[in-house]
Structure 1
Amino acid sequence: MDSRNESKQEGVRALKEKLPQPDSVARGLAWFSIALGIAELVAPRMMARAAGVNAGPGAVRFYGLRELACGVGILASRNPRPFLWARVGGDALDLGTLALSSNKWSARDRQRATVAAVNVACVTALDVYAAKSAAAAPRLPSVDYSDRTGFAKSAEEMRGAALADFETPRDMRAPDALAPYTRSGQSAAQANVGRTGSATNGA
């Protein structure tokens, strides 16, 4: 009995490994939704003819906006599950539109509507699988940093600490030829003059 259960579990694990990962399915559905939405926005009449329905361009463009919103939401959101369920609802709306707005008088349009309904049903199955399997990204715990300043010590202790051992790099110093005309050069010259004057007075 145990061996049978183990074999069944191994078979289930093998089947899960063969199935595509929910994240990859969700990304694929997102790009499919974006591509379909762009096609419905750019060529609504052609898409309506391809589906065999008598839908106006405005309605088809509205469906295209819905597809674009769902696709972008799946790719950009940390939790794609609501957008995947929105796709499931959109698929149900598409199936209703195919059932109510298909041209029943034309055999070719009836065939196109049937093919479109089968395709929508297959995509709906993928949407349901991805929506049920997609896991929301874990929320990071909120941390309060209001009591942190970014300094190792208090502001009073850190004031002027960087200048204690700071030495101006050679390429940032004034050229030697201009050194006498800088403030530090003038101060050094004045100090030399002061020392010379004091020495002269002492003599």
Structure 2
Amino acid sequence: MNSLQSLATSSLAPSDRLARGLGYFALGIGLLQLLAPRRITRPLGLEGRETLVRACGAGKMLNGIGALSDNPTPAIRTRFAGNALDLALLAPGLSTDNPKRDNVRLVMALLLGCTLLEALTARSLSERHVRPRDMHVADYGQRSGFPRPAEAMRGAAGDFRTPADMRAEIGVGPA
């Protein structure tokens, strides 16, 4: 089966597939931030902030894993906090003494575009994965899981005898 056929037969809604794609994207970016933070800080003129980049990478990895779950809505919603942290990390790169501030502007624009995509995905996921408020929810609080009330079952096993092959002789050593 080719990839187009598998997409056509997928039970995932388009918003779920997009969330899954965002999850894989977050895992990739997070892995890059964790393993090679200098590849990110050097072209942006943000050398010395590698530890912060690694911390953001760890957050992206966790978020990516959450986006791959059955209900990716919470993970996609929390991306807003992650994007705010990323923007705060990038903000010092906009200073006039940074010769690479155009790179920072480009990355910030891309980040804002991803944020917009995540906002639209979160909205679509919320509509799909949230149970309507007027939906009746059954109350099982009074159920015990037993077939009859406890009073009716008391003494029912009073005549039970353990089968001979299941009896253990207590105090007798191995034969």
How would you bin the TM-score normalised by the shorter chain? 0.5 to 0.7
Distance 2:62 2:31 in 1: 11
Q: Name stretches of at least 5 consecutive residues in structure 2 with no aligned partner.
A: 1-12, 132-136, 148-156, 160-175
Give the residue type in structure 2 aligned to 1:58: T
1:81 Cα deviation from its structure 2 partner: 1.6
Structure 1, unaligned runs of 5 or more: 1-19, 149-154, 157-203
Find the counterpart in structure 2 of residue 44 from structure 1.
Answer: 37
Amino acid at match of 1:147: F
Counterpart residue number, 1:11: none
1:110 matched to 2:101? The reply is yes
User: Which residue does 1:132 correspond to in 2?
Assistant: 123
TM-score by length of 1: 0.55
Distance in 1, Cα, partners of 2:89 & 2:76: 20
Computed over aligned residues only, the root mean square deviation of the Cα atoms, in angstroms, reads 3.2
Residue identity matched to 1:96? A
5 Å-filtered alignment, 1:1-203, equals 21-75=14-68, 77-102=69-94, 104-107=96-99, 109-134=100-125, 135-136=128-129, 146-147=145-146
Q: Is the contact made by 1:53 and 1:113 (CA closer than 8 Å) also made in structure 2?
A: no
CA contact (8 A) 2:56 2:85 kept: no
User: What TM-score do the two structures reach when normalised by structure 2?
Assistant: 0.63
Q: Mark the structure with the bigger radius of gyration.
A: 1
Aligned-pair identity (%): 29
Structure 2: how far apart are the matches of 1:137 and 1:36? 29
Shift of 1:32: 0.3
Call closer, same or farther: CA 1:105–1:59 in 2, change over 3 Å.
same
When the two structures are aligned, how many residues end up with a matched partner? 134
Structure 1 segments, 4+ long, off by >6 Å, are 140-145
Distance 2:34 2:24 in 1: 15
Bigger fraction of residues in helix:
1
Q: Deviations over 1:135-161 (max 9, x none)?
A: 3276x978768336xxxxxx99xxxxx
Distance 1:127 1:142 in 2: 36
Q: State how far apart, in whole Å, the 2-side matches of 1:56 and 1:98 are.
A: 10
Q: In structure 2, what is the Cα distance between the partners aligned to 1:42 and 1:119?
A: 21
Partner secondary structure for residue 39 of structure 2 = helix
